[in-house]
A = this chain, B = another copy of it.
Amino acid sequence: MADSFIEKLKQKWNEDRFICIGLDSDFSKIPQSFKDQSSDSEVPIEGAIYEFNKSIIDSTHDLVCAYKINSAFYEADAQTWEAMLNTFYYIQRTYPEIPVILDAKRGDIGNTNQGYVKMAFETIKADAITIHPYLGQEANQPFLDQKDKGIIVLVRTSNEGAGEFQDLPVSGRPLYEIVAENVATKWNTNGNCAVVVGATYPEELKKVREIVGDMPILVPGIGAQGGDLEGVLANGLNKEKQGLIISSSRAIIYADDPRMAAQDLDQKISSFHRTK
């Protein structure tokens, strides 16, 4: 079986799977039925979130190229953190062929990043992590040294105010292009890097695709954030018509029928592929 993040991902792409579901589960938003049925009454929040995540995973595992779990939704208390760990372990045990991204957006100085490496890859056993570029390659080397793990660097984020620094002109080019270029040409000596570009910015995605070649691009912002799927596909696919991890969170996990919401997104992607 494929073992590294990039091998697992490519295998999924070869099966025409491009969706990534973000399991950003918030106890206040999950259906009451999961709160009622939580199998562990001693840790009701932990149990309910875990059961909810499990139901999403079981009903969508054949449709995705990856799952993404954002630590911000889980680290405020011990029960939610435990639910997150158990969600990772469930996927690893049940669907080991599906890569799971820890969307933690970490980034400290080199020595200190060892702690985050241990958290992400020893404790959680994630297949990939998202990181901030601001401290540079030298600081992020402990992440980059993890050859079998995906190191996914923020380049052009999906939020409205992303341009404040990311678009600043550096010798006539926006900063995010320089970040993409450095990641592609300098940071990626182990072939384990990927970049993040928001689905809300298809033009910027086009530039980044030109810069990074066939490198995987994680594209959040489809669904609730209003990203442009057609634009993402037209501008983001690599020359093999692959290379994209198209991520949607709230629009799928809180849909009345999450599988149907995922299938709908999958079919839109398939029909785009067929017509090109």
- Residues of chain A at the chain B interface (Cβ within 8 Å): 24, 70, 72-78, 81, 105-110, 112-116, 118-119, 122-123, 132-139, 154, 157-166, 168-171, 175, 178-179, 182
In the complex, chain B residues whose CB is within 8 Å of the CB of A78: 78, 81
Which residue of chain B lies nearest to A114 when distances are taken between CB atoms in the complex? B72
Known: A134-B134, A162-B139, A168-B170. A109 touches B76 (CB 8 A): no
Which residue of chain B lies nearest to A170 when distances are taken between CB atoms in the complex? B168
Pair A159/B136 contact, Cβ less than 8 Å: yes
Pair B161/A135 contact, Cβ less than 8 Å: yes
In the complex, chain B residues whose CB is within 8 Å of the CB of A73: 112, 115
Pair A179/B165 contact, Cβ less than 8 Å: yes
Pair B162/A24 contact, Cβ less than 8 Å: no
The listed residue with most B CB atoms (<10 A of its CB), out of A81, A159, A182, is A159
In the complex, chain B residues whose CB is within 8 Å of the CB of A163: 136
Pair A161/B138 contact, Cβ less than 8 Å: yes
A137 to B159, CA, bound (A): 10
CB distance from A112 to the nearest CB of B (A): 5
Can you list 23 contacts pairing A with B, beta carbon distance less than 8 Å?
A70-B112, A72-B106, A72-B113, A72-B115, A72-B119, A75-B116, A76-B119, A76-B122, A77-B123, A105-B132, A109-B157, A109-B159, A133-B165, A135-B154, A135-B161, A136-B163, A138-B159, A138-B160, A139-B157, A139-B161, A139-B162, A164-B182, A165-B175
In the complex, chain B residues whose CB is within 8 Å of the CB of A182: 164-165
CB distance from A19 to the nearest CB of B (A): 20
Pair B158/A136 contact, Cβ less than 8 Å: no
CB distance from A175 to the nearest CB of B (A): 7
